[in-house]
């Protein structure tokens, strides 16, 4: 079935950069908008960014605007999140997600397992 697998998480110092990846499989990746959602330890969910199916449109949460860049490689079924100028408050599990079934309006029915990013000095 439809699968998303995140990678690239780790421990990074404040102010440094990190790039996350999300490998998509078993669906036509190039026809779906893709999202990143994060969850700080013990906290709730926070939407981070979305990219349109062809990469032409990108939108970000105010908390990451100007620091994070979402991108995609449709030839390799890969979603990415370049995170620059990382802050302590960016520490979280990062999920990639999408609305796969088109009748679901804008709800996310497919999620990856998440990758942990820890920003610490």
Partner 1 sequence: EIVLTQSPGTLSLSPGERATLSCRASQSVSSTYLAWYQQKPGQAPRLLIYGASRRATGIADRFSGSESGTDFTLSISRLEPEDFAVYYCQQYANASYTFGQGTKLEIK
Place of tokens 């939407």: 47
d(CA 2, CA 17) in angstroms, rounded, equals: 30
Q: Which stretch binds partner 1 (CB under 8 A): 16-24, 66-74, 79-87, 100-108?
A: 100-108
Measured at the alpha carbon of residue 79, what is the angle toward residues 23 and 91, in degrees to the nearest 5?
95
Nearest distance, CB of residue 38 and partner 1, angstroms: 11
**Interface with partner 1, residue 1, by CB under 8 A:** no
- Name the site residues for partner 1 (rule: CB under 8 A): 35, 44-47, 50, 59, 61-62, 95, 97, 101, 104-109, 111-114
């Amino acid at each position: 079935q439809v699968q998303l697998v995140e990678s690239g998480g780790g421990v990074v110092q404040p102010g440094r950069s990190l790039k996350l990846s999300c490998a998509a499989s078993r669906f036509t990746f190039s026809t779906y908008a893709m999202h990143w959602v994060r969850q700080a330890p013990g906290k709730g969910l926070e939407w981070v960014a979305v990219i349109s199916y062809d990469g032409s449109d990108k939108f970000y949460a105010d908390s990451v605007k100007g620091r994070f860049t979402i991108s995609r490689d449709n030839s390799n079924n890969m979603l990415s999140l370049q995170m620059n100028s990382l802050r302590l408050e960016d520490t979280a599990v990062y999920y990639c997600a999408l609305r796969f079934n088109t009748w679901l309006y804008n709800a996310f029915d497919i999620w990856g397992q998440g990758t942990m990013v820890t920003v610490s000095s």
